[in-house]
């Protein structure tokens, strides 16, 4: 299953109908061509409800090809970084708490990009990737052009004790180590995709 966040919907691409979570505000649509995907997507996203859209095809790769073909696809990488005090690294960008991440450069490896972006956005080094967490997808607009962004997330350990330096030219106004007990400030003002990363890493209860 692939979960995609957009401005007013949550979209699920599934290859098993048992993954369909029957809710009052959910609908299941079988898709067998790129044209059918485009028609159904445009039709359903113009309406306020349903909020949860499930698109089904027996081949998830084919289904993703149909879906991603409607957008410009951008790939990015980032990290959920922990220090020796068991605090986690967050940044404040464009009015919301976020995790450090950025676009993968041409010819660059995903893990290399993840470490580089964390280093650039927070002014730190001595990072070690410990494992892959998940990939998140979200849709947004740039100059009325629809973008589908896929971000690959990694758990990282940091041995650097230097003062954090937020990358202000990328719109980051704060970079901060935050202990789990103080995460309410993040929960109250972050993106659903960031909560998805934290849930996948089991660092917050699934009920949050």
Residues 78 and 32 in one domain: no
pTM score of the predicted model: 0.90
Burial 16-26 (b: 16+ CB within 10 A, else e): eeeebeeeeeb
> What percentage of the chain carries pLDDT values higher than 90?
82
Residue-averaged pLDDT of the chain: 92
| Residue at 205 is within a domain | no
Q: Which domain holds residue 135?
A: 73-200
Domain count, the chain: 2
Q: Are β-strands 145-158 and 127-142 bridged in parallel, bridged antiparallel, or unpaired?
A: antiparallel
Rounded Cα gap, residues 134 and 200, in angstroms: 7
Res 143: pLDDT: 79
d(Cα 207, Cα 202) in Å, to the nearest integer?
11
**Contact between residue 202 and residue 180 where contact means Cβ atoms under 8 Å apart:** no
Domain end call among 27, 51, 68: 68
Stretch (H or E) spanning 65: helix 60-68
Segment 156-169, tens digit of pLDDT: 999 999 999 999 99
DSSP state, 99?
A: -
List residues bridging with 157 in a β-sheet: 82, 128
**CATH number of the domain enclosing 80:** 3.90.79.10
CB atoms within 10 A of CB 202: 9
């Amino acid at each position: 299953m692939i979960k995609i966040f957009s401005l007013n919907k949550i979209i699920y691409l599934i290859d098993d109908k048992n993954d369909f979570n029957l809710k009052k505000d959910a609908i299941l649509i079988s898709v067998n061509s790129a044209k059918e995907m485009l028609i159904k997507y445009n039709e359903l996203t113009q309406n306020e409800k349903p909020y949860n859209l499930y698109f089904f095809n027996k081949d998830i790769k084919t289904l993703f090809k149909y879906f991603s073909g409607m957008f410009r696809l951008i790939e990015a990488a980032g990290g959920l970084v922990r220090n020796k005090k068991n605090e986690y690294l967050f940044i404040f960008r464009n009015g919301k708490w976020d995790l450090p991440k950025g676009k993968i450069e041409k010819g660059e490896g995903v893990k290399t990009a993840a470490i580089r972006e964390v280093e650039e956005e927070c002014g730190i080094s001595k990072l070690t990737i410990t494992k892959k967490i998940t990939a998140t997808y979200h849709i947004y607009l740039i100059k009325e052009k629809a973008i589908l962004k896929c971000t690959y997330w990694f758990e990282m350990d940091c041995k650097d004790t230097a003062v954090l330096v937020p990358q202000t030219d990328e719109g980051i106004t704060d970079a901060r180590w935050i202990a789990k007990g103080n995460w309410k400030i993040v929960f109250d003002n972050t993106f659903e995709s960031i909560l998805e990363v934290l849930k996948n890493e089991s660092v917050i209860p699934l009920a949050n």
